[in-house]
Chains A and B, each alone.
Chain A
Amino acid sequence: MHSLISVIVSGVAVGCVYALIALGFTLIYKATEVVNFAQGELLMIGAFVAYSFIVLWGWGYWAAIAATMIVVAVIGFLIDAVILRRIIGQPQFSVVMLTIGLGFVLRAVGTMIWGTSSLVLPTPFAGAINVGGVVVSSTTLSMMVGAVFLCGAVGMFFGLTRVGVAMQAASQNQLAAYYMGVPVKLLFSLVWAISGGIAAIAGVLIAPVTLVDSNLGFLGLKAFAAAVLGGFGSVPGALVGGVLIGLLEQLSSWYVTADMKDIAAYVALLAVLFVRPQGLLGSVGRKKV
């Protein structure tokens, strides 16, 4: 029974990181209506950069996290400002192709700089605590706390700050927001920067579990399943979806076979899309001509 509970706990922890990646998707989609297929690659770059700071240059863990966040946020900002801004108003399809292409380029750059071998990222989270007989390692705990904290912060940012409200306005109607004096282009780049920063943290948090290599980018696709499951464009949905996908993976490898872990997320994604295309917490309407 205890082993089942620990499976559940690790599922929730991995799920929290999926939720963070999904949060990145959701932010960009909510604000700019672009689906960023390169989110997983941003996470990969984040983990690599953190590795450089901590292992190669010997920075402290927390300083390295902050620096990594800034670096990846700048990358996100530049991606939007230099590349995506050019195709505002083009059909969805070209944006999808563009971000897929960007993902490949980022992955190639990652392997060129940091090589193909798996790297180990050291963390200060050692040991474990005992909660009611269940042993929870600090790494696991750090993933959960980080995800919940970031989700809360992002939710508050969108609801309470001036910039956040302006982002909501821009996402509802670009033209109207622009007429009201909202600097739409700058805001979009800022959203990309925030989302890049979140991806960086997700990368640092998941690195102790997965090792750091270029395959980390594929986590982005699993997080997709999470984002869709929660309803694309809903911040609490991303959290719920991420945790559900993480749980589903661990439980399916516990109850069915270990291989099921790899595709459980995708099976769930297909099932959800077929049964309830708007996701669990999403809203849907009819398009006007």
Chain B
Amino acid sequence: MRRIFKTHYNQDIDLFRDGIDRNIYCGLLVILLLLPLSVGSFWLGEISYALILSITSVGLMLLTGFAGQVSIGHGAFVGIGAYANAVLLTSGLPLPLSIIGAVVISTLVGALLGYPALRLSGLYLAMATLAFTFIVEHVFVHWESMTGGFGGMSVPAGVILNYSIMEGVSFYYLCLLSAVGALLLARNILRSPTGRAFVSIRDSEVAAQSMGVNLASKKTTAFALSAGFAGLSGALLAHRIGSLAPDAFGVLLSIQLLLMVVVGGLGSLHGAIFGAIFVSMLPQIIAVFRDTLPDSLAQQPGLEPGLFGAILVAFVLFEPAGINGRWQKVKAYFAHFPMHRKATFRRQKNFTKSERFR
């Protein structure tokens, strides 16, 4: 068990906890950079997908895990990012500019939706974002001159400095760069006053307000930021899919994104990454699972969303802290090895305190 001897206040907000942590993360980055040398193109594509999802996941984690605002509408922002990128590329912008444009557009939409929506709390916000998802999907279907409607819209091949990013390796590096950048940005926001304001809003709005946190502006910031992250991952996703259809960005995607942060573990960036890896690998896992099941059950339609739901239910019931929470528990078990106490992580019994008769 490591104990850190702190000699300066700034150590509390350092990017890495200590030298060992820094070395571990740098080592991980080097491994990821060298990965294309040893991994086939199929798995490289899957890892790129996990990286793309982790960008949204980190963004949604900022909003849901740290600022405490539930959004069931992030699929819509991913869609806005994807379509914006495709439209801007079609109109002749070079790739870096079109991605930046997509991020800016989805951030703006996020701010526009966020400002009025965030006067609402918890539940109502969830419903407002849900309604937003339906409306955006409707717009994608019916604004045919821009999005091609149900016919779909093909995404032009992206080119950076004469390198086509459609090829696996360069696309992988683009995703890696974006994901690492997004992660660093999120981590830096979280150790700044803004990030601490997010956490205080999550823990108690009234307390935060009385300590001088401007609720409306901080909530809007969190919403716009996470919409921007979703837009970035949407822009990259557009290149992975190749052809955009409106129904790819509906409620199901939003729920999948929410599944990521819950399964990963709310309130930690590690959790965001774990969740993204889990959800991106889930189709593979289900495919394996399907082979072992009897045919009559395996070929059923609706098995996949059903399993999604079941996993969600299982995590909320049995491991509300998600994969990250389980990882912490395993770590704590070995750190305290012979002295491990079973009750350390037991959940407290609780009565629901009414939020209505206030």
Query: A: which residues have CB within 8 A of B?
Result: 32-33, 35, 83, 86-90, 92-94, 96-98, 100-105, 107-112, 116, 171-175, 178, 214, 221, 224-225, 228, 232-233, 259, 262-263, 266-267, 269-270, 273-274, 277, 285-289
Q: Does B278 contact A (CB under 8 A)?
A: no
Question: Is A287 within 8 A of B131, CB to CB?
Answer: no
Partner of A172 from the list B70, B301, B311, B357 (CB cut-off 8 Å) is: B357
Looking across the interface, which residue of chain A has its beta carbon closest to that of B119?
Answer: A277
Q: Which residues of B contact A97 (CB under 8 A)?
A: 258, 262, 312, 316
Given contacts A86-B317, A270-B135, contact A96 B126 (CB under 8 A): yes
Q: Are A116 and B356 in contact (CB under 8 A)?
A: no
Contact B313 A221 (CB under 8 A): no
Assuming A277-B120, A287-B358, is B126 touching A104 (CB within 8 A)?
Answer: no
Q: Does B124 contact A (CB under 8 A)?
A: yes
The reply to whether the CB of B92 lies closer than 8 angstroms to some CB of chain A is no
Stretch at the interface among B10-18, B168-176, B181-189, B346-354: B346-354
**CB <8 Å contact, B349 and A83:** no
Question: Which chain A residues lie closer than 8 Å to B132 at the CB level?
Answer: 266, 270
Q: Which 10 A-B pairs have the closest CB atoms?
A: A108-B306, A104-B309, A89-B350, A101-B312, A111-B302, A266-B131, A101-B313, A105-B309, A101-B309, A108-B302
Query: Chain B interface mostly helix, strand, loop or mixed?
Result: helix
Contact (Cβ within 8 A) A225 B131: yes
Measured between beta carbons, the chain A residues less than 8 angstroms from B197 are: none
Q: List 11 A-B contacts (CB under 8 A).
A: A100-B258, A101-B311, A101-B316, A104-B308, A112-B306, A171-B354, A174-B352, A233-B356, A266-B130, A269-B127, A273-B131
| Inter-chain contact A35/B123, CB cutoff 8 Å | yes
Chain B contacts of A263 at CB under 8 A?
134-135, 138
Docked complex Cα distance between A279 and B132 (Å): 18
User: If the complex has contacts A97-B262, A97-B316, A288-B358, are A109 and B142 also in contact, measured as CB distance less than 8 A?
Assistant: no
A34 to B218, CA, bound (A): 27
Is B117 positioned at the interface, with any CB of A under 8 Å from its CB? yes
Q: B27 interface residue, CB < 8 Å from A?
A: no
Q: CB < 8 Å: which of B135, B205, B357 contacts A266?
A: B135
Determine if A269 and B350 form an interchain contact, defined as CB atoms under 8 angstroms apart.
no
Q: Are B303 and A108 in contact (CB under 8 A)?
A: yes
Cβ contacts under 8 Å, A270 to chain B: 128, 131-132, 135
The interface size of chain B toward A, counting residues with CB under 8 Å, comes to 54
Q: How far is the CA of A277 from the CA of B72 in the complex (A)?
A: 18
Interface assignment of B242: CB less than 8 Å from any CB of chain A? no
Q: Flag whether B94 is at the interface (Cβ < 8 A).
A: no
Count chain A CB atoms within 10 A of each CB in B132, B309, B355 and give the residue with the most.
B309
* Interface assignment of B310: CB less than 8 Å from any CB of chain A: yes
Whether B302 pairs with A259 at a CB distance below 8 angstroms is no
B344 contacts the other chain (CB 8 A): no
Is B36 an interface position by the 8 A CB rule? no
Q: Of the candidates B123, B255, B308, B349, which one forms a contact with A89 in the assembled complex, judged by CB atoms under 8 Å apart?
A: B349
Asked whether B300 lies within 8 Å of A111 as measured between CB atoms, the reply is yes
A38 to chain B, nearest CB (A): 9
A103–B312 Cα gap in the complex (Å)? Answer: 11
- Give residues in B with beta carbon < 8 Å to A: 64, 70, 72, 116-117, 119-120, 122-124, 126-128, 130-132, 134-135, 138, 142, 204-207, 255, 258, 262, 266, 297, 300-303, 305-313, 316-317, 320, 349-352, 354-358
Residue numbers in A under 8 Å from B349 (CB-CB): 89
Q: A102-B309, A102-B313, A285-B358 are in contact. Are A92 and B130 (CB under 8 A)?
A: no
Q: A288: which B residues are within 8 A, CB to CB?
A: 206, 358
Residue numbers in B under 8 Å from A102 (CB-CB): 309, 313
Is the pair B305, A173 in contact by a Cβ cutoff of 8 Å?
Answer: no
CB of B354, distance to nearest CB on chain A (Å)? 6
Query: Are A108 and B131 within 8 A (Cβ)?
Result: no
Residues in B with CB closer than 8 Å to A171 are 354
Check if B312 sits within 8 Å of A111, measured CB to CB: no
Flag if A94 contacts B320 (CB, 8 Å). Answer: yes
B residues near A89, Cβ cutoff 8 Å: 349-352
A231 to chain B, nearest CB (A): 11
Q: How many Å from the CB of B16 to the closest CB on chain A? A: 30
A107 touches B317 (CB 8 A): no
Chain A residues contacting B205 (CB-CB under 8 Å) are 287
Q: Is the CB of A228 within 8 A of B352?
A: no
A78 to chain B, nearest CB (A): 14
Inter-chain contact A259/B138, CB cutoff 8 Å: yes
Q: Within the complex, what minimum Cβ distance (angstroms) separates B39 from chain A?
A: 33
> Contacts of A88 on B, CB cut-off 8 Å?
350-352
Report the minimum CB–CB distance from A155 to chain B (whole Å).
19
Report how far A132 CA is from B116 CA in the complex, Å. 45
- Chain A's closest residue to B304 (CB) is A108
Most buried by B among A97, A116, A175, A214: A97
Bound-state Cα–Cα, A111 to B306, Å: 10
Q: Is the CB of B306 within 8 A of A105?
A: yes
Complex CA gap A110/B316 in Å reads 23
* Given A104-B306, A277-B119, A288-B358: A266 and B142 interface contact (C-beta under 8 Å): no
Report whether A273 and B358 are in contact in the complex, using a CB–CB cutoff of 8 Å. no
CB-CB nearest in chain A for B134: A266
Please report the C-alpha to C-alpha distance between residue A273 and residue B305 in the assembled complex, in whole angstroms: 30
Q: Give the distance in Å from the alpha carbon of A285 to the alpha carbon of B355 in the complex.
A: 9
